Structure 1
């Protein structure tokens, strides 16, 4: 009997989850907001705990899943009907790169460091921050990138121009500290780096938030504080 009860509870729970999913509507995994993610975890925990708790009956499982499902649908309806609630319930996108400049306040606000930002850009096939005009961190944690006009299509193949080799940029300074491994791999030393900084009006690596070297374009520097 216990085995049959467990089977019955699993079947009912599966059907309830299926119905709730249909009620909420279609949504791609990449579009799930933090609230949706937490709701899915809570829903799974409610079902799992209810099924394997001997003192909880079938009616409790159905009523619990139904109540949570109604709350989720209610939140969806509120965000659809009342635009002002969307920012609070779903989150707002954040512009972390604006007109080619990294917005450190937005990075700190979203608990993102420069390494995470670079990782997100590489996932969008952007290997240098100098290529980005605008970088927008969406509510679901994905990065949307608008490249500068010189890095967008048409490509050199479209224009029939001679191909040039591609070079990988090296991050030489991050958060005011020299990345010695990258500096060595790029074929330079600290003396060379200091000369590059001096040429652009900087005395210390501590004054640099991010700096990268690319063979065909030279040094790109993002200072700790923008110059007036």
Structure 2
């Protein structure tokens, strides 16, 4: 039994090369198909990513289901990822070319329809992203950017409702702090009654 768990049915070099090749192929494919696949905006994208992992499983492990084979494959994947991250850290231009650039979707309340089409985003999906940031409408968006890693950066305008609420809360906190300071007698420690 232990022999079956640790016996590699494929050559060691093949067990290393398979996951590394699939890793780089997936990186290339995700880069070609756009940032939307990384953003996971809807259930279809999630299903796609789950099926994608299942589809490439046999390409990664081959006919080897042994424990040793899985460990070798995992080490190969982690090593490839580590090496790529180190390479991209030392060569920022290569990093930018592999990851792509950010896409401005909204600027000063105006939606860039061409950018939306390029990224295959619907207006409804964009509105969901904006609402997740507690921004009520497009007119309150100063800037909305889709980053290369699939995340959204959203900045509200100065006079947006969430920013106004934030300012009001901060003013109320400041007023409370002043009231608390007035209630304390000089030299009294916070939380200690005056008769103690």
Structure 1 stretches of 4+ moved >6 Å? none
Task: Summarize the Cα distance change of 1:60–1:149 in structure 2 as closer, same or farther, 3 Å threshold.
Answer: same
**Unaligned stretches of 5+ in structure 2?**
8-36, 39-48, 173-196
Selected match of 1:120 from 115, 126, 129: 129
| 1:78 match: secondary structure | helix
**Unaligned stretches of 5+ in structure 1?**
10-32, 161-228
Task: Summarize the Cα distance change of 1:132–1:64 in structure 2 as closer, same or farther, 3 Å threshold.
Answer: same
Selected match of 1:45 from 57, 60, 64: 57
Contact 1:121 1:127 in 2 (8 A): yes
Alpha carbon RMSD of aligned pairs, Å? Answer: 3.7
Aligned residue pair count: 128
TM-score (norm 2): 0.51
Q: Flag the structure with higher helix content.
A: 2
Contact 1:46 1:64 in 2 (8 A): no
Deviation, 1:93, is 2.0
Selected match of 1:78 from 78, 84, 87: 87
Selected match of 1:94 from 83, 86, 103: 103
- What's the counterpart of residue 28 of structure 1? none
Distance 1:157 1:68 in 2: 48
Please list, as runs of the form range in 1=range in 2, the aligned pairs for 1:52-67 lying within 5 A after superposition. 53=63, 60-67=69-76
- What's the counterpart of residue 109 of structure 1? 118
* Cα displacement string for residues 39-66 of structure 1 (whole angstroms, at most 9, x for unaligned residues): x948x9369846xx4x565664444333
Distance 1:76 1:60 in 2: 24
Deviation, 1:74, is 1.8
Higher relative contact order (CA 8 A, sep 6+): 2
